[in-house]
Chains A and B, each alone.
Chain A
Amino acid sequence: MASITQQLNNEQLTSTVATVQIRDLHRQFGDHVVLDGVDLDIRHGEFVALIGRSGSGKTTLLRTLAGLDHDVVGSGDVQVPDKISVVFQDSRLLPWSRVLDNVLLGYRGTDARARGRDALAEVGLAGRERAWPNELSGGEAQRAALARSLVWDPELLLLDEPFGALDALTRTKMHGLLRDLCVQHTPAVLLITHDVDEAITLADRVLVLEDGRIGTDLHIEAPHPRSYRDSRLGEYREQLFSALGVTDA
């Protein structure tokens, strides 16, 4: 089973059709130019991490891809698939709906309940269907948010610092879970993070957004699962830190 998915994964990685294609994207708020000519391709099944200093426009780029940027001044060509799911930094579960109803928010289909249950089981929340969101821990809530995005079987999964508010131990567990889910479902993934180690451990490619453009585009060649302390990752880390302007890393 694992080897089959691995094979499929490789096959999709070699395909040249890009799931996401951005050309010359400009965005500005008032006089402040946030994105100044971004080009970006994400292939089917590819896991891309985007890092950058705060205010560098990471979230602006993600909101463009998610179609959430209303009343924004800008230009550019953006091609995205139909089925896009977003996971936000906070779980954004509706406090007045039970977990299963949250997972199925907006989803219609005869198999909806079963699908929601499956998604919850996949993220390790089987049996918590009837819980209220405020009964969940931070990690559990974020798992439920992941389940909510999986129900739609997305072609593009957008993650906006999804583990930023979690403690280190929970975060490590969530990394493993996210990686497994991506192998299973093979969406194209764009993960926004400010954590260089998180980017290196999870992604096939790490991009650095600087001065409104993609400045660095680094392919991470290391087998999964990766560890923070893997010595092979040290060089990538140094490159990324210097791209971010952190010299003493």
Chain B
Amino acid sequence: MTDTITVSGADAETIAVAQEQSRQRPLQHKRRRLGPGKRLRFASVAGPLLILAVWAVASATGILNWRIIPGPWSIVTRGVALWQSGTLGPDIAVSLERAAAGFALGAGSGIILAMVSGLSRIGEAFIDSTVQVKRAIPSLGLIPLFILWLGIGESFKIVIIAIGVFIPIYINLSASLVGIDKRYVELAESLQLSRWDFLRRVVFPGALPGLFVGLRLGVVGSWLSLVVLEQINATSGLGYMMYQATNYGQTDIICVGLVIYGIFGFLSDRGVRLIERRVLSWRRSLSN
């Protein structure tokens, strides 16, 4: 190592290049990054697209039997055919209507009851414990009772969907109303805010992030309940379409229904997130 070595012209050049490179990388000593780093583009659709590709290849090569699950393209063509024959459109409309009605009812009652329970000790005493008990009872287990009480029409479906939507919205909103930062309460007291100003300026804006978590869970939940409900007792809607297809072994129609449910669930979640980003714009500078 200590010997002096005469270097030939070519070697000298390599050394010079290596030295140059090390000069160009002055931040060699940077620590290894442990955070996840930058977010990938199209991250939200990457996983589904990969599955779609694998599925398409497997179907095309015959690895997947079409009787078990048809290729993506036959689902698309079947969907288009169903649409053109005029049966798919009304079924989607009916399902959308049920999901929307159930969601509106569930979200409305969830927000109102969460506010009563989150803002008053009496409300908390009577409502919160009741909802916690209800949480332990599966909504789908209530179907027979609700059929007996409300008949087998639309109302029992909407009520069951609403209950599924109500729970996550209630839980998240009331938790964030109760969990309001004490320091802000103290600030509001020292500024002698009126009760209404306190709610408007401190409590509600502080609880909005919790409300949005609830809304996102609720909006997806409305579709989940719908799938089950429409397959049990229905004469219209996507679930009914799938139920009929089951009897005739039409896997492609079942898949059309599943895909549409999936798309609507995904889109409604995206929609809520979009509103959330708008409403909670003050948070953006935090996450950056």
Interface residues, chain A, with chain B CB atoms under 8 Å away: 66-68, 84-86, 88, 90, 92, 94-97, 105-107, 132, 134-135, 148, 152
Contact = CB atoms under 8 A, between A and B. Distances in A.
Given A105-B201, A106-B191, A92 B184 contact: yes
A16 B81 CA distance: 94
Contacts of A96: 205-206, 208, 280, 282
13 contacts: A66-B190, A67-B189, A67-B190, A68-B190, A88-B186, A95-B286, A96-B280, A105-B188, A106-B201, A132-B282, A135-B285, A148-B191, A152-B191
Contacts of B208: 96
Interface in B34-89: none
Nearest to B194: A106
Interface in B148-193: 183-184, 186-193
B202 A94 contact: yes
B97 interface: no
Contact of A90 (B183, B191, B194): B183
Nearest to A132: B282
Interface of B: 183-184, 186-194, 197, 201-202, 205-206, 208, 280, 282-283, 285-286
A77 to B, nearest CB: 21
A90 B181 CA distance: 13
Contact of B188 (A84, A85, A106, A134): A106
B187 A92 contact: yes
Nearest to A107: B191
B205 A94 contact: yes
Contacts, number: 55
A94 B183 contact: no
B286 to A, nearest CB: 5
A248 to B, nearest CB: 36
B106 to A, nearest CB: 26
Contact of A106 (B183, B192, B280, B282): B192
Contacts of B190: 66-68, 84-86
Contacts of B186: 68, 88, 92
A97 B205 contact: yes
B189 A68 contact: yes
A42 B193 CA distance: 26
Contact of A94 (B192, B201, B285, B286): B201
Contacts of A107: 191
A132 B285 contact: yes
B140 to A, nearest CB: 38
Nearest to B191: A106
A94 B197 contact: no
Given A92-B183, A132-B285, A106 B206 contact: no
Contacts of B192: 106
Contacts of A152: 191
Given A85-B190, A107-B191, 14 more contacts: A67-B189, A68-B190, A88-B186, A92-B186, A92-B187, A94-B184, A94-B205, A96-B205, A96-B280, A96-B282, A106-B194, A132-B282, A134-B286, A152-B191
Contacts of B193: 105-106
A86 B192 CA distance: 11
A105 B186 CA distance: 13
B191 A105 contact: yes
Nearest to B187: A92
Contacts of B205: 94, 96-97
B121 to A, nearest CB: 14
Nearest to B190: A86
Nearest to A98: B282
B285 A88 contact: no
B62 to A, nearest CB: 57
Contacts of A95: 282-283, 286
Contact of A88 (B183, B197, B202, B280): B183
